[in-house]
Chains A and B, each alone.
Chain A
Amino acid sequence: MRYLLILLLIIQGTIVSLPAWAQNVHVTDLLGRRMAIPKDPVRVVSLAPNITEIVYALGQSHRLVGATTYSDYPAEADMLPKVGSYVHLDLERIVFLAPDLCLAIKDGNPIAAISRLESIGIPVYAVDPRDLESVMDTLSRIGRLLQADKQAKQLVQGMRRRIQAVESLVAKTDHRPGLFFQIGISPIVSVGTNTFIHELIVQAGARNLAEGDIPYPRFSKEQVLGMSPDVIIVTSMARKAVFEKIRQDWYQWTNLPAVKNDRIYFKDSGLFDRPSPRLVDALEILVRLIHPEMFKEPS
């Protein structure tokens, strides 16, 4: 066993030969790894769609030379050279783009791929955007890396202001309707406590009926009926025709409070499927759906 280890170290020693980066800075990423990255990275590859969004939001898209598939927001991001999906990265494409920095997701990108890239000499900085707070942290971190501190600060301030506005609005009422947030159609899937959507639901002043330890729990139709949700929100990548079918499906159950009060809503999943700066938009949409009474003009 010890010989194996020694051999392993020898092999590793011959593989890892980091090129000398001019003007490096030392940073520690959210995987706790300390690394040297260029002070002014000009060839950045984003390894997840929400990181692509963040780089665009910071106005640093000119630094991007590649991104993963489904990096479709903003629309022009779709034009970037693709480097595989974020769970199955095409390492050869990434190396071919000769990046001086890759931006990865801590729990999303496979750790094996991250270490392969590093063994080739490409620094990979991992961030961990999971919810509103960590998206703002990610904005600041990537802002620092890409010399966009000022933009990051502005974005974070703007986000905070809008979050506070929602919070003070929700604080005016004690009403907390029960919400069933449906992200999967067949099977029916909702969101548990440890998800960013749960956080949005609570912040927007509703009770998440699917709360619990399981991040993305599955439900039978019977279980959903049993919880008698006041509001049902369905998000999906599916098209309008599918939405209509699901609506018909739920509307059979005329005793369901959400059906009785006509409160089943369909939203494009783009806003709700990834923790990006647009989470604030999602929050504002949610609060309007959950507390429409707060937005009515006093008559």
Chain B
Amino acid sequence: MSGDHSDIVKRLSTVSGLLLIVLVVVMLVGISIGSSGSGVTSLWHIITDPDHADPMLLTIIWKLRLPRVLLAALVGAALSLGGLVFQALLRNPLAEPYILGISGGSAIGAILGILLGLSQFPGITLTSFAGSLTTLLLIIGISAGQSILQKNALLLSGVMVNAFCSAVIMFLVSMTHDARLHNIIFWLMGDLSMGSLQHTGILAMALIPCFVIIFWFSNTMNLMLMGKEMALSMGVNIKRATVILLVTTSLMVSACVSQCGLIGLVGLVIPHLFRLMLGSDHRILFPACVLGGGAYMVACDLLARAIPQHGEMPAGVITALIGAPLFIYLLKRSGR
């Protein structure tokens, strides 16, 4: 048993170390590219010789690009973990906060918060949290008691809840002529451009405790995936673990949505990728999702900034362009 333990620690540190390097490299590239130009070499000059660096470039890097890259990494980590947890708890490889409409629900909450004139934190985050919890309960309520069809019932009810949520969002947007909603279209597709260090710091304070809770439960998720009997016999309090994990994940997702809008399908791509590469031990998948998901999101945001010649596109466009075909592929494969 102790051999198994040290083996895990070894794998955990190898995976974490490698992915940490990937994350740092992607973040450095993310920091060195922006709409005002400049490249990796000028970043190197700034790091090696900060006294003689162009002060404007310093400002751009420290106050605009760095917060944005950090925000992307955090959001990517949180959304990937969200997917990982949903897939384990609902025992459905296609479960993901965006597909299930959880993100849509928290977007409704966030818009209501904006219309009520609440502050970004804690006001809008809380209304957004309420929105995501409501949709979560709704989906579980709809699909419960249909054990044979549960897998599809869950996805279908998620799709419908999602459609309903987007309709409500468009309804709210059409009904109000509020100047505060000017940016809504960008925000709805996932926008990381307004992240300041302050916002990123606040988001980190909300997300990191959630990460710790999920890591705490990673072995429990392993046991739960082995089946109810097995989990019970190993002393897992299934109900408690499920509730804590679902609520934590909803909180995480709604914190991201209220900050950056709807960024979809990250929680599908990343956990699947790592499950293919690393197997299904959640103790390993946890750091992989945090670091790899962060790197993935930073890269997607980088593409969103770099592809258009003028301005930028919402980061959610890129994640959806990558994620949706993958979802279709997985759906087709799981049907066989």
B3 to chain A, nearest CB (A): 43
A108→B178 CA distance, assembly (Å): 11
Please name all residues of chain A whose beta carbon is closer than 8 Å to the beta carbon of B180 when the two chains form the complex: 111
- Selected from B122, B177, B196, B311, the residue in CB contact (under 8 A) with A88 is B311
Provided the pairs A15-B198, A108-B179, A120-B59 are in contact, do residues A92 and B310 lie with their beta carbons within 8 angstroms?
no
- Which residues from A are CB-within-8-Å of B205? 4, 7
Q: Does the CB pair A4–B60 fall under 8 Å? A: no
Given contacts A11-B201, A119-B196, contact A92 B64 (CB under 8 A): yes
Which residues of A sit under 8 angstroms from B63, Cβ to Cβ?
15, 95, 119-120
Answer yes or no: B167 CB below 8 A from chain A CBs.
no
Stretch at the interface among A79-87, A145-153, A225-233: A79-87
Interchain nearest-CB distance for B31 vs A (Å): 12
Contact pattern, B 32-44, Cβ under 8 Å of A = 1, otherwise 0: 0011110000000
* Interfacial chain B residues near A120, Cβ < 8 Å: 59, 63-64
Interface residue count for B (Cβ, 8 Å)? 29
Selected contact of B194 from candidates A82, A116, A121, A216, CB within 8 Å: A116
- For chain A, the count of residues having a C-beta within 8 Å of the partner chain is 33
B272 contacts A by Cβ under 8 Å: no
Contact A84 B311 (CB under 8 A): yes
On whether the beta carbons of B196 and A90 are closer than 8 Å, the reply is: no
From A11, A82, A91, B64 is in contact (CB under 8 Å) with A91
The residue on A at minimum CB distance from B186 is: A88
User: What residues on B are CB-neighbors of A1 within 8 Å?
Assistant: 122
Q: Which residues of B contact A84 (CB under 8 A)?
A: 311
- Give the chain A neighbours of B56 by CB distance below 8 A: 95-96, 98
Closest chain A CB from B202 CB (angstroms): 7
Closest CB of chain B to A186's CB: distance in Å? 15
Assess whether B194 is in contact with A113, with CB atoms less than 8 Å apart.
yes
- Assess whether A216 is in contact with B177, with CB atoms less than 8 Å apart: yes
B306 at the interface (CB under 8 A from A): no
Return chain B residues, CB-CB under 8 Å to A12: 198
Do A116 and B182 touch (CB < 8 A)?
A: no
In the A-B complex, the 10 residue pairs with the smallest Cβ-Cβ separation, listed nearest first, are A96-B36, A107-B179, A92-B35, A87-B182, A92-B34, A112-B194, A92-B36, A93-B35, A92-B64, A215-B177
Q: A92-B60, A95-B59 are in contact. List 4 more A-B contacts (CB 8 A).
A: A4-B205, A98-B56, A107-B179, A215-B177
Q: Which residues of B contact A (CB under 8 A)?
A: 34-37, 56, 59-60, 63-65, 121-122, 177, 179-180, 182-183, 186, 193-194, 196-198, 201-202, 205, 310-312
22 contacts between A and B (CB under 8 A): A4-B205, A7-B205, A8-B202, A11-B198, A15-B197, A84-B311, A88-B186, A88-B193, A90-B312, A91-B193, A95-B36, A95-B56, A95-B60, A95-B64, A108-B179, A110-B194, A111-B180, A112-B194, A116-B196, A119-B63, A119-B196, A215-B177
